[in-house]
Amino acid sequence: MRINWIELSGYVASALVFLAFYMKTMIPLRVVGILSNIAFMTYGFGGRLYPVLVLHAILLPLNCVRLLQMRGLIRKVRAASRGDLSMEWLVPMMRRRRCAKGEVLFRRGDPAKELYLLFSGSVRLLDLGVELGPGKMLGEVGIFAPTHQRMDTAICETEVELGVMATDKVLELYHQDRRFGFFLIRLVSQRLVEDYGSLRDGLVAARQGSALLSGGEASPTR
């Protein structure tokens, strides 16, 4: 039996839908989705199945836009992984929040449900004694900690404006492209190095102070 081009386009469209369910990453999924939209539009037009034609005529530009957005995100992640840890590309994906002076952003042991980027003001991490200013990110360590809990208590030193991203969104970006995961590893590593440096400097200063105090007490009086 001879298969005409209308039937063939229907089989191709069906095969592409099956392939779309097999895809594990977003960009190949979008590409296959675009191809299936074209095949279904061909099938709908040739078979005069106008609901199918209209549906996929709507889905086609949507898939194209999502593909372009994803490729743009990957370019930004690639640039971030090679250069400075800039957070500007994350800002459009965040919602803004204002916090009053003295407000507790989170406490040690709280569930790590959000990631924060400071737009203005300052936040102090109590246990570490570290003050974070505009452009700094906080909360990323707790998201990837085994317990998924906050490792410190954060209090707003001044009125603060924040960018907030839910943990689910962070993990979604992580799974969409592994280069974003590399970006987060660098970010967490940098934070741990900075925290270690602050603790080390504090211990060195304390030891020097103790040595000076002990030396002063031990020295004979004239």
Label residue 89 by pLDDT band (50, 70, 90): low
Identify which of 165, 104, 162, 115 has the alpha carbon closest to the alpha carbon of residue 140: 115
Q: Predicted confidence band at 100 (pLDDT cuts at 50, 70, 90)?
A: very high
Does residue 154 carry a pLDDT above 90?
Answer: yes
**Residues in CB range of 61: below 8 A, 6 or more apart:** none
Contact (Cβ atoms closer than 8 angstroms) between residue 16 and residue 28: no
Rounded average pLDDT over 1-29: 80
Q: How far apart are the C-alpha atoms of 9 and 4, rounded to whole Å?
A: 9
Cα–Cα distances in Å, from 124 out to 59, 97, 113, 165? Answer: 47, 17, 19, 20
164-178 residues labelled b (16+ CB within 10 A) or e (exposed): bbebebbeebbebbe
pLDDT at 222 over 50: no
Structure tokens at 48: 């005069």
**C-alpha to C-alpha distance for 164 and 199, rounded to whole angstroms:** 27
